[in-house]
Chain A
Amino acid sequence: MAKGWIDKARGQFPTSILKVETFRDETTLVVKTDQILEVFTFLFQDPDLSYDYLTDLCGVDYKPRKPRFEVVYHLCSTKHDRRLRVKIPLEEGNSLASVESVWKAANWYERETYDMLGIRFENHPDLKRILTWEDFEGYPLRKDFPVKGKDFDKPFVPEL
């Protein structure tokens, strides 16, 4: 059940938008990695779409599936009261263009996604860990990271 405004985006980027899915009245676009900045700028600027609010941005680890990750954007239009989900499949080791230039909100979300899953964003102004500390090793929300943590049984002795 593709809606009119979605067809407009599809017409603009016929090769980048791989498919449109609907589940529980939520529309999802699956987009290729190469042109995402153009796609997002279009979704942001086009008056019929005007997704001006980035509600959420996160990553999901689908190990052992290939490609391993999906980066998920939840957009919202404050003019049309619509929501849209955009998913970008991403192979481990590849990076993605930052959308910080479109929505400032992406700044911290991309840092969090990098911190939790190790997904790198190009041209991000300050891509460093946000919830864990700088020397932290590993990416906690990856499926191969143990829930207990890696050093739960080792005593913490600071180097003096």
Chain B
Amino acid sequence: MAETKFVTINMGPQHPATHGVLRLVLELDGEVVVKATPHVGHLHRGVEKLSETKTYHQVIPLTDRLDYTNGIGNNLGYVLTVEKLLGIEVPKRAQYIRVAIAELQRLAAHLIWLATHALDIGAMTVLFYCFRDRESILRIIEEVSGGRLTPTYFRIGGLSKDVPEEFKERVMDFLGDFPRRINEYETLLTKNVIWMRRTKKVGILTAEDAINYGASGPTLRGSGVRWDVRKRFPYSGYDEFDFEIPIGEVGDVYDRYMVRLEEMRQSIRIIQQAVENLPDGRFMADDPRVVLPPKDDVQRDIDALIRQFKIVSEGFEPPEGEVFMSVEAPKGELGFYIVSDGSNHPYRIKIRTPSFMNLSALPKMVEGGLIADVVSTIGSIDIVLGEIDR
């Protein structure tokens, strides 16, 4: 009898289809994957350790660099957690602007995913269209915050500054044409025979497994679980917006693709509602412990100057305790767990990143499938190694 031998191959960490520095060790029986072992950590920067030495404000820029396609979303998760720890309420205007910008960022993140996912499978055209639209979004984010990829726009208690006057017009301009373009991109892929053969019944994750493996975001919803933090545990006024949660049926690569496309349409609805109903008023909470005084006051009033100096140099001291808060990032549930010992820097920050858990379910999805499908499955769970390795 002939002896069966498995071939072990190494995919990554420099493989272009691993979306960063993921290394996969694949054991193959012919073309069939018998065992897949992800190795992560090549991008470990010690963000959690570093945060322990900084004041609460100084941690915000670090969060930009977790999932670098979703700087705004990471800022939002962090500032909401600190606000929960402090027990402060943010004004409606700031909440709505936060939602609008975070959803714009979600569109940008999903566009990167669509571009690279299609490229992995061989559809190159989509890449150029998606990056064009993404650039329009990043331009809006840059106008608002000053940064394209690392905006650091949110502050504990509100925003770093109000949106510029032409913000509404710019967003509406972009949204006017964008739904039509999504439909256009769909014509390239959704009914494309090659696309369907490469994605349907590939990389299946059942609903039960998805929950047990801690998958979240489109990876979980693609498996047919109607679970979205924005609906289940609303934050930042999400309960005031009208939007749907799309889900898939079988949990294959195609379902995750359809879920994300539909999510983009829902994001457009949310942004429209937020921008159209943007309330007037303050963009910062009225809390002198945390919020910097207005620049005019600082230049005229000695008390305001002292307060500004104190907040910038020493930060603030939240009460002792611990809080957990999560938001729905483009990739799934992004959670922050902050332990405060009452001093001006966090005692411990644990960041629950969605890609970390989604990737841990990858072996379940690819084992038993073909090696060529590993590439499309990795693309479909939309990982970013910056937030896996932290």
A54 touching B49 in the complex, CB below 8 Å, given contacts A23-B323, A24-B85 = no
Residue B246 at the A interface, CB < 8 A? no
Residues in B whose Cβ lies below 8 Å from that of A74: 324, 335, 337, 352
Residues in B whose Cβ lies below 8 Å from that of A83: 233, 324
A23 to B84, CA, bound (A): 10
- Looking across the interface, which residue of chain A has its beta carbon closest to that of B207? A78
- Looking across the interface, which residue of chain A has its beta carbon closest to that of B339? A60
Measured between C-beta atoms, what is the minimum distance from B358 to chain A in Å? 10
List A28-76 residues whose CB lies under 8 Å from chain B.
28, 52-56, 58, 60-61, 72, 74
Do B324 and A105 touch (CB < 8 A)?
A: no
Residues in B whose Cβ lies below 8 Å from that of A28: 322
| Stretch of A1-9, A12-20, A88-96, A127-135 on the interface side | A127-135
Residues in B whose Cβ lies below 8 Å from that of A61: 348
Residues in B whose Cβ lies below 8 Å from that of A52: 211-212
A72 to B40, CA, bound (A): 23
A105 touching B214 in the complex, CB below 8 Å, given contacts A56-B324, A141-B49 = yes
Do B225 and A78 touch (CB < 8 A)?
A: yes
A107 touching B360 in the complex, CB below 8 Å, given contacts A85-B324, A132-B41 = yes
- Looking across the interface, which residue of chain B has its beta carbon closest to that of A70? B339
Residues in A whose Cβ lies below 8 Å from that of B258: none
Do B333 and A131 touch (CB < 8 A)?
A: no
Residues in A whose Cβ lies below 8 Å from that of B227: 78
List B80-108 residues whose CB lies under 8 Å from chain A.
84-85, 87
List B18-75 residues whose CB lies under 8 Å from chain A.
40-41, 44, 46, 48-50, 52-53
A23 to B389, CA, bound (A): 30
Residues in B whose Cβ lies below 8 Å from that of A141: 48-49, 348
Do A132 and B44 touch (CB < 8 A)?
A: yes
Residue B350 at the A interface, CB < 8 A? yes
A55 touching B360 in the complex, CB below 8 Å, given contacts A78-B211, A131-B41, A147-B49 = no
Residues in B whose Cβ lies below 8 Å from that of A132: 41, 44
Do A81 and B356 touch (CB < 8 A)?
A: no
Do B350 and A58 touch (CB < 8 A)?
A: yes
- Looking across the interface, which residue of chain B has its beta carbon closest to that of A142? B49
A131 to B46, CA, bound (A): 9
- Looking across the interface, which residue of chain B has its beta carbon closest to that of A87? B322
Residue B5 at the A interface, CB < 8 A? no
Residue B300 at the A interface, CB < 8 A? no
The interface on chain A, measured as residues whose beta carbon lies within 8 A of the other chain's beta carbons, has a size of 33
Do B321 and A24 touch (CB < 8 A)?
A: yes
Number of A-B contacts (CB under 8 A): 89
- Looking across the interface, which residue of chain A has its beta carbon closest to that of B326? A55
A28 to B323, CA, bound (A): 10
Residues in A whose Cβ lies below 8 Å from that of B347: 60
A133 to B357, CA, bound (A): 20
Residue A150 at the B interface, CB < 8 A? no
Measured between C-beta atoms, what is the minimum distance from B327 to chain A in Å? 12
Most buried by A among B209, B323, B364: B323
A74 to B357, CA, bound (A): 14
Residue B178 at the A interface, CB < 8 A? no
Residues in B whose Cβ lies below 8 Å from that of A26: 323-324
A56 to B87, CA, bound (A): 23
- Looking across the interface, which residue of chain A has its beta carbon closest to that of B231? A81
Point out the residue from B40, B209, B348 that lies within 8 Å of A131, measured CB to CB.
Answer: B40
Residue B230 at the A interface, CB < 8 A? no
Residue B110 at the A interface, CB < 8 A? no
List B273-289 residues whose CB lies under 8 Å from chain A.
none
A145 to B339, CA, bound (A): 18
Residue B232 at the A interface, CB < 8 A? yes
Residue B213 at the A interface, CB < 8 A? yes
Residues in A whose Cβ lies below 8 Å from that of B225: 78
Residue B155 at the A interface, CB < 8 A? no
Measured between C-beta atoms, what is the minimum distance from A4 to chain B in Å? 20
25 contacts between A and B (CB under 8 A): A24-B87, A52-B212, A55-B352, A56-B324, A56-B350, A61-B348, A72-B350, A74-B324, A85-B324, A103-B214, A104-B212, A104-B213, A104-B360, A104-B361, A105-B213, A105-B214, A105-B357, A108-B357, A108-B360, A131-B40, A131-B390, A132-B44, A133-B41, A141-B348, A147-B50
The 7 closest A-B pairs by CB, nearest first: A105-B214, A131-B41, A58-B350, A56-B352, A108-B360, A131-B44, A23-B321
